Each structure stands twice: as C-alpha cells, then as structure tokens.
Amino acid sequence: MAKTATISAEDRQFNKNKWLFSISGVGRDLSYQLVTAFLLTYIQFGVNLTVAQFATVSLLIGVLGRIWDAINDPVMGAIIEGSRLKWGKFKPWIFIGAVCTGVVILLMFNVQSLGGWAFVAFITAMYLLWETSYTMNDIGYWSMLPTLTSKQDQRNQASMLTVLFAGIGAIIAQGVIPTLTTGNMLAGYRLVSIIAVVGLVSMQCIMAVFIKERPRAEMQQEASVSLKSIFVTIKNNDQLLWVTLSHILYSIGSALLTALAANLVYAEIAYNGDYYFYMVVAYGVPSVLVNVMYPKIVAKLGRKKLQRLAIAVAVVGYVGLGCVGWTGTNPVLTIALFCAFAVIISCGQSLFYMANIVHMTNCVEYNEYKQGQRNEAIVSTLRPFTAKLSSALQTVVVTVVLVASGIYGISGNITGLETQKNLFDKMYTTSSSYTTDVGNYLDEVNNYILLVEQAQGDEQALQQISKQLETSKYQFSVDSLVAVGDAVVAEKYQTPQNGNTGYAICRLKDFDKSMLEEGKQYTLIVGDLNGYELSQALQGDSQSAADKHFHGQVNANLGARIGLRLAVTLVPIVLMLLALVIVDKKFIIDEQYYEHMMQELEARHA
C-alpha cells in the first residue's frame, strides 16, 4: 500500500507564501515600468519643453538619479537591517514604500499644468522622491525573498515564480500603456497612473498582511552593503569584474530597442497604440517562455556555447529589423515584420541574459574559492546596481539620439496636438457653458493658425506671434500650431452607429464656432481616424494630424530615419558583441571549472 506523503506545517506555509509573494510582483513591475520605461515618452510627447529643457531633465533623471541611488540604496538597506518593528523586519517597509510610491506616481502624472523649467524642477524632484520610496519597497521586497525558506529547492521555486510574475507585470505595462495613451496622452497617463497605483498598493498590501514572515532570529543575518564594499569585492574578484562589465554592456544594448520603440513605431508606421502593442507583445512574451525553457537548453549546449548562439540569433534579428520599411510597404506588413524580428531578438537576448545571471551567481563560490569569503550580499546588490547604472547610460544615449537626429524637435508637433486635445476635452467635462467656451477657443486658435501660416519664413513675425502666445491660456506653441490646425474635429455619438464612435467633420483650421450645435459633444482626433465615420470633407484626406507632422516629417528627413535605425540596431549589435567577447574570452567559470571549485570547497569543509 502506497504511503501518503505528509506535508509539514512549514512547507504548507511556504507554499502559501511563495504565491502571495510572487503574484504581488505583478503590481510592482506594472508601476515600475510606468516610470522607468514610459516617463521619458510621456515627457517627450506630452509636455511642452525646449530641446535644452528636455535634454536637461533627461540627464538629471538619468545621472542625478543614479548618484542618489548610490547614496540611497545602502542607507535604506542599513535602516531596514537595523529596524526592530513588531510587524516584522521587511513587511512594514514593503507596505510604507508601496503607499509612498503610489502617492508620488499620482503626483508625477496628474500635475499637468506645469511647463518649461518649472516642469523640469518638478519632475526631477518627483523622480528623486520616487527613487527613495520605491527603494524602500524594493529592498524590503527582495531581501524578504531568501528568508521565505532555508531550503535550496524551495528558494529556486520562489525565485522562478517571482521573476515570472514580474515579467508578466512588465508585459502588461508595455502592452496596455501605449494603447491607452496614444492619441490621448495626458488623460491616458492620468488613467494609467491610477491603474498602476491601485495594482501596486493593493497587491503589496495583500501580500504584507497575509504572508507570514519568519522570526528574525531564524533569518540569516547579512552584513550591510556599502558602495565601497561593492567596488572592493569587484576589484578583488576578477571574474565578477568581467561578468559585470559584460552585463552592463549587454543591458545598455538590449534596452535601446524598448526605450526607442515608441519613436520607431510612430515614425516608421503610424501614431497608433495598437501597432506599438503588437510589437511589445512580440518582444515580451518570448522572453517569459525562454526563461521557462532555459534549463533544458543550457543542459544540452552549456552556457558559453549557448551565449554565442544567443548573440548570433539576436544579431540576425537586429539586421532584419534594420532592413524593414525602407521601400514604402504597407503598415500591416511593416508591423508584422517588426514583430517577427522582435521575437528573434527577444529569444537571443533572453538566453544571453539568463546565462549571464548564472555566471554572476557563480562568482559567489569563486570568491570563496579564491579569497575564503562568499560575500553573497555583494552579488545580490550588484545586480540591481548594474541595472541602474545601465539605465542611466541608456537614458544618456536615448537623449543624444533624439536630440542629435532632430526627432525630438519634430515630436513637438505631437506634444502640441496632445496638449490641445486635452484642453478641448476638459472644456466639455469641466465647463457649464461648453458651447461658449469651445467657441471662444475656436476663435483664438483659428486666428493664431492663420497668423502663423501667413508668417511662414518671416522669423521676426513668428517671434512676435510667440510673444503674444505667452499670454494665452491655451498653451499654444508657434512650432506646433500648423499641426494643431490639421487635428480633426469630430462629433461623438452618444450611441455607436455602424461600428463608429463618432462623426469626423473636418480639420480644426476649417471649423468655426458657427458649426457648433447645442447638445452635441465634440472632440479632437490627433491620431488614427479608424472608428469614426468620415465626412465628405475628409474623404481621400484621412491621414491623422500626428502622422502628417511626425511620421511624414521624419520620413522626409533621411538623417533622422537613419539615426533612429542605427540607434535601435547597430548600436545594440556592437554593445552585445562586446559583451559576448568579454564573457567568452575573460570569464573562465564554465561548467567544468565550477565543478572543480565545488569539489575543492567540499574538501576544505570536510
């Protein structure tokens, strides 16, 4: 008679804890991606800034943020390590950090009346506050992971599930955010910030309330990690030095495609969130599947051979991506090819990344083998440190690309369009005399559009108009007024008709207040006109204002197109090849060497 396996109370508690802990990561990474992956996109397309102001805020976020991290991380780690709170060692900081992070995110994306240098100061302050509050949650969260259990196999289960659900949160963010924000940028980010904060705070609170934290006495006490100790360990551990350098180069290169994905899709295909969504899913889903398949693949090939194959696959994907779209193919074919090559790139990069993480982990035993100390805390701190350093350098590269190629200057047209759409829609929701307010708006905008069109080529006249615009409450910009004139005015249907949500009447420059009708709701369309019934005035002229003044202008600027393509293809190829050469030639801890180390360490401990 078969014996029934009994599960101990400790194992039952772990099974509960691992699911509560890992699933809560969905909300964490959703909010994290909103800030790290989309804040720069929000600033570029949603806020009126000069090139100098955009470059300044990008560099402040990238560089100053990392300097603050260098101070903030070890200080926060020491505070958490030294705390003696009744609710536990980690749970209070996870809870407090999540709530504070939520408040900061809401402020970051909902204070939308600022522009220029005032916005630069505001968003820099918000970003540093976000770094502080998120670090509080982040260190508490990841420090809690190894304390869920002391059993190695259970730790592997918890780690795998945590990485898996974090990836799911990232994919949700990358797919949903552009869909909800493209064509309705400011209102979209207000909504997305609320969704992200609800997801973050609710999931972290549920986890913190219901998870059972092991008593402090049972946890392994780790020494606090300072920035100095990180550099000392790297200096004395040559293998950790090489794999860290390789990982930084890889991280910068692999992140450029996602960092510039919005610009690539909007410039090469259309200002359409659905196209962006398809590409993000094509890039994100394979990375999750590869993580699951990695153990079987690496068992057959070995890590170094796998990494050579992985980079070769990624390079093929980048070369293919660089060749798509130059012959004027239709948008559906272009996005299909972009997605196909994104899948190839994602598979290659994910395999290389997983092997590099194993390399870095194996440096713990190498440190003990060479110096007699494991220094596990250093390695666990080094991974997020390299990620943050890479993010800073990536921000610098992205800023240089956008400014030097001229793409940022062109994207000001979309910023102007999105700003006016937000103002137009808010008049309907906040005004008791909507028709009168919209009529006044139309009088002023059409007057300025006419003046700008008449002054084209006359810099002195344009400067005079610009001074006049400083007194307008409608946040007009001389540079984007022509684009604003091409925005489409549409009547919203109270009940959808024939699959359409509204009736697109004509361009804003051809619309005046005499065309307004009481009791009807109007809106501005700056992006895709699909879903709207077109009037006779728009038949044969259905290209959106955003596509005319961003997609069209970038495509007419060969230098801008080439600069963008090189940034998302050639630069990643070079950086990842360098990462491969370093780890292939300088990193000696392969499977055989690791086995030798473990035998030697076992002999020492015997």
C-alpha–C-alpha distance, residues 243 and 586, integer Å: 8
Q: Are 28 and 197 in contact (CB under 8 A)?
A: no
Tens of pLDDT, residue by residue over 180-220, are: 898 889 999 999 999 999 999 999 888 888 887 665 544 44
152: tokens are 């190695």
Q: Considering all CA atoms of the chain, what is the largest pairwise distance in Å, rounded to the nearest integer?
A: 96
Looking at residue 545, its amino acid is A
Task: Please report which helix (H) or strand (E) contains residue 426, including its range.
Answer: helix 407-430
Highest CATH level, class, for 12-214? mainly alpha
- Where are any strands of DSSP class E within 72-167? none
- pLDDT of 84 strictly over 60: yes
**Interior/surface letters 534-567, b for 16+ CB within 10 angstroms, e for the rest:** beeebeeeebbbbbbbbbebbeebeebbebbbeb
Alpha carbons 270 and 544: distance in angstroms, whole number: 9
CA distance 229 to 378: 7
If one counts every other C-beta atom within 10 angstroms of the C-beta of residue 210, the result is: 11
Band (595; pLDDT cuts 50, 70, 90):
confident
Bigger pLDDT: 90 vs 257: 257
* CA pair distance 543, 270, nearest whole angstrom: 10
Distance between CA atoms of residues 488 and 80, nearest Å? 54
Please give the Cα distance from 352 to 109 (Å, whole number): 35
Instruction: Give the CATH class of 232-406+560-606.
Output: mainly alpha
Residues 422-463 pLDDT 10s: 988 888 776 667 788 888 889 888 898 888 888 888 888 888
Cβ contact 423:69 at 8 Å: no
How much is the pLDDT for 250? 94
Distance CA 169, CA 285 (A): 11
Percent of the chain, pLDDT > 90? 35
The pLDDT score that the predictor gives to residue 143 is 72
- Local structure of residue 456 (DSSP, 8 states): T
Of 360, 23, 357, 282, the C-alpha closest to 164 is 23
Domain extent listing, the chain: 12-214, 232-406+560-606, 411-556
Q: Which residues contact 453 (CB under 8 A, 6 or more apart)?
A: 482, 485
Cβ pair 203, 26 in contact under 8 A: yes
- pLDDT for 219: 47
Q: 236-266 as b/e, with b when 16 or more CB fall inside 10 Å?
A: ebebbbbbbbbbbbbbbbbbbbbbbbbbbbb
Looking at residue 551, the DSSP 8-state letter turns out to be: I
Q: Are 264 and 568 in contact (CB under 8 A)?
A: yes
3-state secondary structure 207-263: HHHHCCCCCHHHCCCCCCCCHHHHHHHHHHCHHHHHHHHHHHHHHHHHHHHHHCHHH
Q: Give the tokens for residue 524.
A: 């501005």
CA distance 105 to 31: 8
Banded pLDDT at 222 (limits 50, 70, 90): very low
Strand pairing class (522-525; 532-534): unpaired
Asked if the model's pLDDT at residue 83 lies above 60, the reply is yes
Residue 117: φ, ψ to 5° = -70, -25
**pLDDT exceeds 70 at position 144:** yes
Burial code of 296-306, b = ≥16 C-beta within 10 A, e = fewer?
eebeebebbeb
Tokens of 132: 């502080």
Partners of residue 491 on adjacent β-strands:
503, 522
User: Which pLDDT score is estimated for 505?
Assistant: 92
**How many C-alpha atoms does 148 have within 13 Å on its Cβ side?**
32
Read off the pLDDT band of 338 (50, 70, 90).
Answer: very high
Q: How far apart are CA 259 and CA 61, in angstroms?
A: 15
Rounded (10°) angle between helices 238-259 and 331-371? 170
Burial class (CB in 10 A: 0-12, 13-18, 19+), 209: exposed
Instruction: Report pLDDT digits (tens) over 254-276.
Output: 989 988 988 999 999 999 888 88
3-state secondary structure of 534: strand
Counted residue by residue, the chain has a size of 606
The predicted structure's pLDDT at residue 90: 79
Q: Which of 196, 88, 181, 94 is nearest to 135 (CA)?
A: 94
CB 458 within 8 A of CB 466: no
Q: Are strands 532-534 and 500-507 parallel, antiparallel or unpaired?
A: parallel
Measured CA to CA in angstroms, residue 469 lies from 159, 313, 454 at distances of 56, 52, 16
pLDDT of residue 472: 82
DSSP 334-365: HHHHHHHHHHHHHHHHHHHHHHHHHHHHHHHH
Residue 542 scores a pLDDT above 80: yes
Mean of pLDDT over the chain: 85
Q: Is the pLDDT of residue 48 over 50?
A: yes
373 three-state secondary structure: coil
d(CA 366, CA 364): 5
- Name which of 153, 126, 109, 122 is nearest 18 in CA terms: 153
Q: Cα separation of 356 and 379, whole Å?
A: 13
pLDDT exceeds 70 at position 133: yes
Distance CA 171, CA 191 (A): 18
Q: Please write the tens of the pLDDT for every residue from 399-427.
A: 999 999 999 999 999 999 999 999 888 88
Between residues 381 and 498, which one has the greater pLDDT?
A: 498
Q: What is the pLDDT, as a whole number, of residue 74? A: 67
Mean pLDDT along residues 163-187: 85
